[in-house]
Amino acid sequence: MTLHINEAEVREVLDMPQALKAVEEISRKQATGEVVVHPRRRFELPGGGFFHYMAAADYSAGFVAMKQYTFARGKVRFLVPLYEMATGDLLAVIEADYMGQLRTGAASGVATKYLAREDSRVAAIIGTGGQAKTQLEAVAAVRKLESVRAYGRNASKLEKFCSEMSGRLGLPVTPSSSAGEAVRRADVVCTATTSSQPVVSGADLAPGAHINAIGANHAHKRELDDEAIASADIIVVDSVEQSRQEAGDLIIAFHGDEICWTGVKKLSDIVAGKTSGRTSPSEVTLFKSNGIASWDLAAAMKVYAAAVDKKLGRELPLWKAAGEA
Protein backbone atom coordinates (compact mmCIF):
# COMPACT_ATOMS: atom_id res chain seq x y z
CA MET A 1 0.00 0.00 0.00
CA THR A 2 1.30 3.42 -0.97
CA LEU A 3 0.08 6.32 1.15
CA HIS A 4 -0.37 9.83 -0.15
CA ILE A 5 0.33 12.16 2.80
CA ASN A 6 -0.57 15.79 2.21
CA GLU A 7 0.75 19.03 3.67
CA ALA A 8 -1.98 19.32 6.30
CA GLU A 9 -1.26 15.80 7.54
CA VAL A 10 2.48 16.50 7.71
CA ARG A 11 1.74 19.52 9.89
CA GLU A 12 -0.43 17.33 12.10
CA VAL A 13 2.25 14.72 12.81
CA LEU A 14 5.62 16.51 12.64
CA ASP A 15 6.88 19.31 14.89
CA MET A 16 10.23 20.93 15.58
CA PRO A 17 11.27 18.75 18.56
CA GLN A 18 10.69 15.65 16.45
CA ALA A 19 12.54 17.15 13.48
CA LEU A 20 15.51 18.10 15.68
CA LYS A 21 15.72 14.57 17.04
CA ALA A 22 15.41 13.05 13.56
CA VAL A 23 18.16 15.20 12.03
CA GLU A 24 20.52 14.64 14.97
CA GLU A 25 19.97 10.87 14.88
CA ILE A 26 20.53 10.53 11.16
CA SER A 27 23.60 12.77 11.33
CA ARG A 28 25.22 10.24 13.69
CA LYS A 29 24.37 7.44 11.27
CA GLN A 30 25.81 9.44 8.38
CA ALA A 31 29.12 9.70 10.25
CA THR A 32 29.31 5.93 10.68
CA GLY A 33 28.43 5.14 7.08
CA GLU A 34 25.01 3.66 7.89
CA VAL A 35 23.46 6.48 5.87
CA VAL A 36 24.56 7.31 2.34
CA VAL A 37 23.68 10.61 0.67
CA HIS A 38 23.56 11.52 -3.02
CA PRO A 39 24.00 15.28 -3.57
CA ARG A 40 21.42 17.47 -5.27
CA ARG A 41 21.34 17.60 -9.05
CA ARG A 42 19.43 20.05 -11.23
CA PHE A 43 17.90 20.43 -14.65
CA GLU A 44 17.41 23.99 -15.83
CA LEU A 45 13.99 24.36 -17.43
CA PRO A 46 12.84 26.71 -20.19
CA GLY A 47 11.82 30.08 -18.78
CA GLY A 48 14.32 30.05 -15.92
CA GLY A 49 12.82 27.21 -13.89
CA PHE A 50 14.55 24.21 -12.30
CA PHE A 51 13.89 20.57 -11.50
CA HIS A 52 15.93 19.34 -8.50
CA TYR A 53 16.46 15.84 -7.13
CA MET A 54 18.55 14.19 -4.40
CA ALA A 55 18.41 10.94 -2.47
CA ALA A 56 19.53 9.17 0.71
CA ALA A 57 19.54 5.62 2.05
CA ASP A 58 19.45 4.52 5.70
CA TYR A 59 20.78 0.95 5.61
CA SER A 60 20.30 0.35 9.32
CA ALA A 61 16.65 1.40 9.26
CA GLY A 62 15.97 -0.06 5.82
CA PHE A 63 14.54 2.96 4.01
CA VAL A 64 15.39 5.03 0.94
CA ALA A 65 13.95 8.42 0.02
CA MET A 66 14.31 10.85 -2.82
CA LYS A 67 13.41 14.52 -2.68
CA GLN A 68 12.13 16.00 -5.93
CA TYR A 69 11.04 19.57 -6.46
CA THR A 70 10.39 22.10 -9.17
CA PHE A 71 10.72 25.85 -9.30
CA ALA A 72 8.77 27.42 -12.14
CA ARG A 73 6.86 30.69 -12.57
CA GLY A 74 7.50 31.63 -8.95
CA LYS A 75 6.05 28.39 -7.54
CA VAL A 76 7.89 25.59 -5.76
CA ARG A 77 6.49 22.07 -5.48
CA PHE A 78 8.17 19.55 -3.13
CA LEU A 79 7.64 15.77 -3.06
CA VAL A 80 9.37 12.98 -1.11
CA PRO A 81 8.76 9.34 -2.11
CA LEU A 82 9.72 6.90 0.69
CA TYR A 83 10.71 3.30 -0.17
CA GLU A 84 11.28 0.20 1.93
CA MET A 85 14.57 -1.55 1.10
CA ALA A 86 13.55 -5.13 1.92
CA THR A 87 10.53 -5.20 -0.37
CA GLY A 88 11.22 -2.36 -2.80
CA ASP A 89 7.74 -1.05 -2.01
CA LEU A 90 6.88 2.60 -2.35
CA LEU A 91 5.47 3.22 1.12
CA ALA A 92 4.50 6.86 0.81
CA VAL A 93 4.40 9.91 -1.40
CA ILE A 94 4.73 12.89 0.91
CA GLU A 95 4.01 16.51 0.07
CA ALA A 96 7.10 18.12 1.49
CA ASP A 97 7.03 21.93 1.62
CA TYR A 98 6.48 22.24 5.37
CA MET A 99 8.52 19.12 6.04
CA GLY A 100 11.42 20.75 4.18
CA GLN A 101 11.11 23.93 6.20
CA LEU A 102 11.17 21.93 9.43
CA ARG A 103 14.14 19.76 8.48
CA THR A 104 16.18 22.77 7.32
CA GLY A 105 15.41 24.63 10.53
CA ALA A 106 16.18 21.52 12.55
CA ALA A 107 19.60 21.16 10.90
CA SER A 108 20.47 24.70 11.94
CA GLY A 109 19.16 23.89 15.39
CA VAL A 110 21.47 20.88 15.60
CA ALA A 111 24.39 22.98 14.34
CA THR A 112 23.58 25.66 16.92
CA LYS A 113 23.42 23.03 19.68
CA TYR A 114 26.93 21.80 18.87
CA LEU A 115 28.61 25.03 17.76
CA ALA A 116 27.07 28.08 19.45
CA ARG A 117 28.18 29.24 22.88
CA GLU A 118 26.10 27.80 25.71
CA ASP A 119 25.40 31.32 26.98
CA SER A 120 24.02 32.57 23.65
CA ARG A 121 21.03 34.79 24.43
CA VAL A 122 20.56 37.14 21.45
CA ALA A 123 19.76 35.95 17.93
CA ALA A 124 19.54 37.77 14.63
CA ILE A 125 17.52 36.58 11.65
CA ILE A 126 17.89 38.00 8.15
CA GLY A 127 14.83 37.04 6.11
CA THR A 128 11.13 36.85 6.94
CA GLY A 129 9.81 33.85 4.98
CA GLY A 130 8.80 30.36 6.06
CA GLN A 131 12.40 29.18 6.32
CA ALA A 132 13.24 32.11 8.61
CA LYS A 133 10.45 31.07 10.96
CA THR A 134 11.70 27.52 11.38
CA GLN A 135 15.29 28.75 11.73
CA LEU A 136 14.29 30.84 14.74
CA GLU A 137 12.08 28.12 16.16
CA ALA A 138 14.94 25.62 16.05
CA VAL A 139 17.53 27.98 17.54
CA ALA A 140 15.13 28.90 20.35
CA ALA A 141 14.65 25.18 21.06
CA VAL A 142 18.36 24.59 21.73
CA ARG A 143 19.41 27.89 23.36
CA LYS A 144 17.72 30.02 26.03
CA LEU A 145 17.21 33.10 23.92
CA GLU A 146 16.19 36.35 25.55
CA SER A 147 15.65 38.42 22.42
CA VAL A 148 15.72 38.30 18.62
CA ARG A 149 16.42 41.05 16.10
CA ALA A 150 15.02 40.58 12.61
CA TYR A 151 15.53 42.27 9.26
CA GLY A 152 13.81 41.96 5.90
CA ARG A 153 13.53 44.32 2.95
CA ASN A 154 9.71 44.50 3.05
CA ALA A 155 8.70 46.57 6.07
CA SER A 156 5.14 45.23 6.34
CA LYS A 157 6.29 41.60 6.09
CA LEU A 158 8.95 42.33 8.71
CA GLU A 159 6.40 43.73 11.16
CA LYS A 160 4.10 40.75 10.62
CA PHE A 161 7.00 38.31 11.02
CA CYS A 162 8.11 39.91 14.30
CA SER A 163 4.58 39.87 15.71
CA GLU A 164 3.99 36.24 14.77
CA MET A 165 7.35 34.98 16.02
CA SER A 166 7.14 36.93 19.27
CA GLY A 167 3.90 35.11 20.01
CA ARG A 168 5.20 31.74 18.89
CA LEU A 169 8.48 31.89 20.83
CA GLY A 170 7.30 33.85 23.84
CA LEU A 171 10.14 36.36 23.64
CA PRO A 172 10.64 39.76 21.98
CA VAL A 173 11.35 39.60 18.25
CA THR A 174 11.96 43.19 17.15
CA PRO A 175 12.50 44.72 13.71
CA SER A 176 15.87 46.25 12.78
CA SER A 177 16.43 49.00 10.24
CA SER A 178 19.24 47.09 8.51
CA ALA A 179 20.91 43.71 8.44
CA GLY A 180 23.98 45.21 10.09
CA GLU A 181 21.92 46.54 12.98
CA ALA A 182 20.35 43.11 13.50
CA VAL A 183 23.66 41.25 13.38
CA ARG A 184 25.81 43.49 15.58
CA ARG A 185 26.28 42.00 19.08
CA ALA A 186 24.15 38.93 18.20
CA ASP A 187 25.30 35.58 19.58
CA VAL A 188 23.58 33.54 16.85
CA VAL A 189 23.03 34.84 13.32
CA CYS A 190 20.75 33.13 10.78
CA THR A 191 20.44 34.09 7.14
CA ALA A 192 17.43 32.76 5.24
CA THR A 193 17.09 34.92 2.14
CA THR A 194 16.83 34.58 -1.63
CA SER A 195 19.57 37.17 -2.14
CA SER A 196 22.39 36.51 -4.58
CA GLN A 197 24.55 39.21 -2.98
CA PRO A 198 25.89 39.35 0.61
CA VAL A 199 23.41 40.43 3.28
CA VAL A 200 25.83 39.99 6.21
CA SER A 201 29.21 41.64 6.52
CA GLY A 202 32.02 40.21 8.59
CA ALA A 203 32.59 43.68 10.03
CA ASP A 204 29.28 43.36 11.90
CA LEU A 205 29.90 39.93 13.46
CA ALA A 206 30.57 39.84 17.19
CA PRO A 207 33.44 37.77 18.62
CA GLY A 208 32.18 34.30 19.50
CA ALA A 209 29.16 34.49 17.20
CA HIS A 210 27.69 31.45 15.51
CA ILE A 211 26.24 31.75 11.99
CA ASN A 212 23.72 29.55 10.21
CA ALA A 213 23.68 30.48 6.50
CA ILE A 214 20.94 28.61 4.67
CA GLY A 215 19.64 30.76 1.83
CA ALA A 216 22.13 30.50 -1.02
CA ASN A 217 22.58 27.12 -2.70
CA HIS A 218 23.92 28.09 -6.11
CA ALA A 219 27.60 28.55 -6.90
CA HIS A 220 27.06 32.17 -7.94
CA LYS A 221 24.92 33.21 -4.94
CA ARG A 222 25.97 34.12 -1.42
CA GLU A 223 24.60 35.72 1.75
CA LEU A 224 27.96 36.30 3.50
CA ASP A 225 30.78 38.53 2.26
CA ASP A 226 34.44 37.54 2.03
CA GLU A 227 35.20 39.08 5.43
CA ALA A 228 32.47 37.03 7.11
CA ILE A 229 33.91 33.81 5.71
CA ALA A 230 37.46 34.85 6.60
CA SER A 231 36.42 35.66 10.17
CA ALA A 232 35.04 32.15 10.75
CA ASP A 233 37.45 30.09 12.83
CA ILE A 234 35.42 26.95 12.17
CA ILE A 235 33.48 26.29 8.96
CA VAL A 236 31.02 23.39 8.98
CA VAL A 237 28.87 22.06 6.13
CA ASP A 238 26.29 19.32 5.69
CA SER A 239 28.12 17.78 2.72
CA VAL A 240 31.55 18.77 1.44
CA GLU A 241 30.78 17.26 -1.96
CA GLN A 242 27.55 19.22 -2.33
CA SER A 243 29.14 22.39 -0.93
CA ARG A 244 31.90 22.28 -3.53
CA GLN A 245 29.18 22.30 -6.19
CA GLU A 246 26.73 24.89 -4.85
CA ALA A 247 27.83 26.68 -1.64
CA GLY A 248 28.42 30.06 -3.26
CA ASP A 249 29.26 31.60 0.12
CA LEU A 250 32.35 29.40 0.26
CA ILE A 251 33.10 28.95 -3.44
CA ILE A 252 33.28 32.70 -4.07
CA ALA A 253 35.17 33.54 -0.86
CA PHE A 254 37.74 30.79 -1.38
CA HIS A 255 38.68 32.24 -4.80
CA GLY A 256 39.58 28.82 -6.19
CA ASP A 257 42.13 28.05 -3.43
CA GLU A 258 41.81 24.31 -2.82
CA ILE A 259 43.65 24.58 0.50
CA CYS A 260 40.65 26.42 1.95
CA TRP A 261 38.51 23.31 1.60
CA THR A 262 40.85 21.15 3.68
CA GLY A 263 39.73 22.77 6.92
CA VAL A 264 35.99 22.51 6.22
CA LYS A 265 34.27 20.10 8.61
CA LYS A 266 31.08 18.03 8.32
CA LEU A 267 28.23 18.54 10.77
CA SER A 268 27.68 14.78 10.98
CA ASP A 269 31.26 14.25 12.18
CA ILE A 270 30.84 16.89 14.88
CA VAL A 271 27.52 15.42 16.06
CA ALA A 272 29.10 11.95 16.20
CA GLY A 273 32.14 13.24 18.10
CA LYS A 274 34.57 12.32 15.31
CA THR A 275 35.90 15.87 15.10
CA SER A 276 35.81 18.95 17.32
CA GLY A 277 33.52 21.93 16.97
CA ARG A 278 33.92 25.11 18.99
CA THR A 279 36.94 25.03 21.30
CA SER A 280 36.77 28.53 22.82
CA PRO A 281 34.11 31.19 23.54
CA SER A 282 35.78 33.74 21.25
CA GLU A 283 35.72 31.61 18.10
CA VAL A 284 33.35 32.51 15.28
CA THR A 285 31.64 29.37 13.97
CA LEU A 286 29.81 29.02 10.66
CA PHE A 287 27.37 26.36 9.50
CA LYS A 288 26.84 26.64 5.76
CA SER A 289 23.68 24.65 5.07
CA ASN A 290 22.81 23.54 1.54
CA GLY A 291 20.21 20.95 2.50
CA ILE A 292 20.85 17.24 2.08
CA ALA A 293 18.55 14.31 1.39
CA SER A 294 19.34 12.45 4.63
CA TRP A 295 17.38 15.12 6.49
CA ASP A 296 14.40 14.58 4.19
CA LEU A 297 14.69 10.82 4.71
CA ALA A 298 14.81 11.26 8.49
CA ALA A 299 11.72 13.47 8.48
CA ALA A 300 9.89 11.23 6.01
CA MET A 301 10.40 8.16 8.21
CA LYS A 302 8.89 10.03 11.18
CA VAL A 303 5.97 11.32 9.13
CA TYR A 304 5.18 7.91 7.60
CA ALA A 305 5.26 6.09 10.95
CA ALA A 306 2.99 8.69 12.56
CA ALA A 307 0.59 8.72 9.61
CA VAL A 308 0.21 4.94 9.75
CA ASP A 309 -0.30 5.06 13.52
CA LYS A 310 -2.98 7.76 13.21
CA LYS A 311 -4.54 6.24 10.08
CA LEU A 312 -3.88 9.37 8.02
CA GLY A 313 -3.30 9.64 4.30
CA ARG A 314 -5.04 7.89 1.44
CA GLU A 315 -4.07 4.79 -0.49
CA LEU A 316 -2.85 5.21 -4.05
CA PRO A 317 -3.78 2.35 -6.41
CA LEU A 318 -0.30 1.86 -7.80
CA TRP A 319 0.80 -1.37 -9.50
CA LYS A 320 -2.50 -3.12 -8.85
CA ALA A 321 -3.29 -5.90 -11.25
CA ALA A 322 -6.29 -5.40 -13.53
CA GLY A 323 -9.46 -6.29 -11.67
CA GLU A 324 -7.77 -6.35 -8.25
CA ALA A 325 -9.84 -4.80 -5.49
Tally of CA atoms within 13 A in the half-sphere of 316 that contains its CB: 14
Residue 226 is predicted with a pLDDT of: 97
Residue 70 is predicted with a pLDDT of: 94
Same domain, 142 and 224: yes
In a domain, 56, yes or no: yes
Q: Which residue segment(s) compose the domain that 279 sits in?
A: 117-288
| Residue 317 to residue 105: CA distance in whole angstroms | 34
CATH number, domain with residue 210: 3.40.50.720
Domain count for the chain: 2
Q: Of 266, 242, 304, give the one whose Cα is nearest residue 61.
A: 304
- Which residues face 83 on adjacent strands? 64, 90
| Residue 144 to residue 16: CA distance in whole angstroms | 16
- 75 noted as active-site residue: no
Same domain, 242 and 197: yes
Residue 324 is predicted with a pLDDT of: 55
What single-letter DSSP state applies at residue 184? T
CATH number, domain with residue 33: 3.30.1780.10
Residue 47 is predicted with a pLDDT of: 86
In this structure, the chain runs to a length of: 325
Same domain, 164 and 281: yes
Catalytic residue among 29, 67, 221, 302: 67
Same domain, 13 and 33: yes
What is the mean pLDDT for each group of 10 consecutive residues in the chain (325 residues)? 97 98 98 96 91 97 97 92 97 97 97 98 97 97 98 96 97 98 98 95 97 92 97 97 95 95 97 96 97 97 98 92 54
